[in-house]
Amino acid sequence: MLSSSRGLLLRSSTKIRIGKRVALASIAVSGILAVVKITVGIIGRSASVLADGFESAGDVVAATAVFFGFAIASRPADEGHPYGHGRYETLTGLIVGVILFVAGIGICYRSLLGVQHVHDVPASYGVWALLASMIAKAVMSAVKFHYGKRIRSAALTADAWNDFVDILSALTALTALGLTLLDPDRFLVADHYGGFAVGLFVIFTGMRVAKETSSRLTDEMPDDEMMSAIREVSLTVPGAVGVEKCFARNVGLQYYVDLHLEVDPDLTVRKSHDIATEVRFAIRKRLDWVADVLVHVEPAPDIPQAVVSEHSGKGHSESSG
């Protein structure tokens, strides 16, 4: 029993460590991109590059929130938090969504602020800053989606969507800047509208991220595939006849499960308890995303004769021994 608990703790700590490392890498990459693009946007007089730079600055704040979310989620359970602190990781995903939404509004406002003003044509070297940003964000987005799915992290997945939208926003900014450079007389304002489009991308992504993380915080059930996996593992234990009910709630990187297990009604309380215990540890061992299972034993309504005979045979054999 002790070794099983240690195994679960090790897996959980490994997931936390992976999440923190990815978040730190994201802070570094987004920080460098923000400095480069804001500098290029100001010196090169490009509203779209500047807007994309401020969006990267928001990414630094978002990634920092994700890092601290993982740090708090790694704290062990205590008297006030018997289910642990895992939901702080999910909460940081919601914070990322709010940051994106607010940042998007700010980017839209700033991009349209100088649309009526006459200004010089943006410098062409802003193109290289945007191309570099697209490549860097494509790599970070792929990394975050990979590890977010692997460790089932709402915060990392939210930040991955953030990076994915950064690619689209940089492409939009690149298109707007390209049009401006191609024909300044006709498309000078395109640079400003490109910045506005970047802001819209950020706003809608923030709304999507906030919706997904809110569903986890409000105890939305896992998908059908995950619930089926719990039931299938339960029924591999000898003596487990059926599953009457099964519920699961998300607590950060893992789930807590409530399971109503059906057993032969003629079994003793001790034997039913032993089966329930085996089911609990079988689920925790085979499904690393399950933190713990509370098993309620229920009498099965209709037991097939073969199952009854099997249990009766075992009981007779034990009595004879």
CA nearest neighbour of 34 among 159, 170, 200, 192: 170
pLDDT tens profile 204-242: 888 888 887 887 777 778 888 889 999 999 999 999 999
pLDDT tens profile 173-198: 788 778 777 777 676 677 667 778 77
**193 or 40, which is more confident:** 40
Question: Residue 316: pLDDT above 60?
Answer: no
Average pLDDT rounded to a whole number, residues 267-286:
92
Average pLDDT value over all residues in the chain = 80
Max mean pLDDT range (36-45, 67-76, 270-279): 270-279
Instruction: Determine the pLDDT at residue 319.
Output: 38
Q: Domain-by-domain residue ranges, the chain?
A: 2-217, 224-320
N-to-C CA span, the chain: 27
Dihedral angle of Cα 254, 88, 102, 196, to the nearest 10 degrees = -30
CB 4 within 8 A of CB 291: no
Q: What percent of the chain has pLDDT over 90?
A: 23
Average pLDDT rounded to a whole number, residues 197-203:
80
How many angstroms separate the most distant Cα atoms in the chain?
99
Average pLDDT rounded to a whole number, residues 54-82:
82
Instruction: Determine the pLDDT at residue 143.
Output: 93
Question: Residue 321: pLDDT above 50?
Answer: no
Helix (H, G, I), strand (E, B) or coil at 246: strand
The HSE-up count of residue 233 (CA atoms within 13 Å, CB side) is 23
Q: Which CATH class is domain 224-320?
A: alpha beta
Sign of the CA dihedral with 70 first, then 76, 78, and 81 last: positive
Average pLDDT rounded to a whole number, residues 268-291:
91
Question: Residue 110: pLDDT above 80?
Answer: no
Question: Residue 6: pLDDT above 60?
Answer: no
Strands, E assignment, the chain = 242-251, 254-263, 290-299
Q: In the CATH scheme, what is the code of domain 2-217?
A: 1.20.1510.10
Dihedral angle of Cα 1, 150, 65, 72, to the nearest 10 degrees = 0
For residue 51, what are the β-bridge partners? none
219: region left, alpha or beta (phi > 0 left; psi from -120 to 50 alpha): left
Average pLDDT rounded to a whole number, residues 142-171:
84
Instruction: Determine the pLDDT at residue 179.
Output: 78
Instruction: Determine the pLDDT at residue 76.
Output: 78
Q: How far apart are CA 178 and CA 170, in angstroms?
A: 12
Question: Residue 4: pLDDT above 80?
Answer: no
List the alpha helices (DSSP H) in 114-153. 126-151
Average pLDDT rounded to a whole number, residues 137-160:
87
Question: Residue 161: pLDDT above 70?
Answer: yes
Q: How far apart are CA 247 and CA 219, in angstroms?
A: 10
Q: How far apart are CA 276 and CA 101, in angstroms?
A: 46
Q: How far apart are CA 208 and CA 279, in angstroms?
A: 37
CB 156 within 8 A of CB 38: no
Question: Residue 304: pLDDT above 60?
Answer: no
Instruction: Give the type of residue at 42.
Output: I
